[in-house]
Amino acid sequence: MKRILFLVLIFGLLTACKREKSTIQHSACKSFSGKSTNITSDSSCVYYTYNAAQQQLHLQHINAVFNCCPGELYADILREADTIFISEREEHAECDCMCLYDLELTVNGVAPGNYILKFIEPYATFESALVVALSLQQMQSDTFCVARANYPYGIN
Residue 1 lies in a domain: no
Chain centre distance of CA 42: 18
In a domain, 26, yes or no: yes
How many Cα atoms within 13 Å fall on the side-chain side of residue 143? 12
Residue 78: CA atoms inside 13 Å, Cβ hemisphere, count?
13
User: Is the pLDDT at 45 greater than 50, yes or no?
Assistant: yes
- Residues 44, 149 contacting (CB under 8 angstroms): no
According to DSSP, residue 6 is labeled H
Q: Check whether 13 has a pLDDT greater than 50.
A: no
The structure's pTM equals 0.79
Given this model, what pLDDT does residue 127 score? Answer: 85
Q: Which pLDDT tens digit goes with each residue over 51-77?
A: 999 999 999 999 999 999 999 999 999
Task: List the domain range (segments joined by +) for residue 56.
Answer: 19-147
**Do the domain assignments include residue 53?**
yes
Torsion angle in degrees (nearest 10) through CA of 121, 72, 95, 145: -30
The answer to the question of residue 140 being in a domain is yes
- Residue 58 burial (C-beta neighbours within 10 Å; 0-12, 13-18, 19+): middle
Assign residue 98 a region: left if phi > 0, alpha if psi is -120 to 50, beta otherwise? beta
pLDDT digits (tens, 9 = 90+) for 98-134: 999 999 999 999 999 999 999 999 998 888 899 999 9
Count of domains observed in the chain:
1
Instruction: Give the count of alpha carbons within 13 A of 86, CB side only.
Output: 29
Structure confidence at residue 10 (pLDDT): 43
Looking at per-residue pLDDT, the higher value among 142 and 24 belongs to 142
Question: Does 75 fall in a domain?
Answer: yes
Other beta carbons less than 10 A from residue 42's beta carbon? 15
In a domain, 12, yes or no: no
Give the span between the Cα atoms of 129 and 144, in whole angstroms.
12
Residue 8 in any domain: the answer is: no
CA distance 77 to 120: 10
10 domain residue, yes or no: no
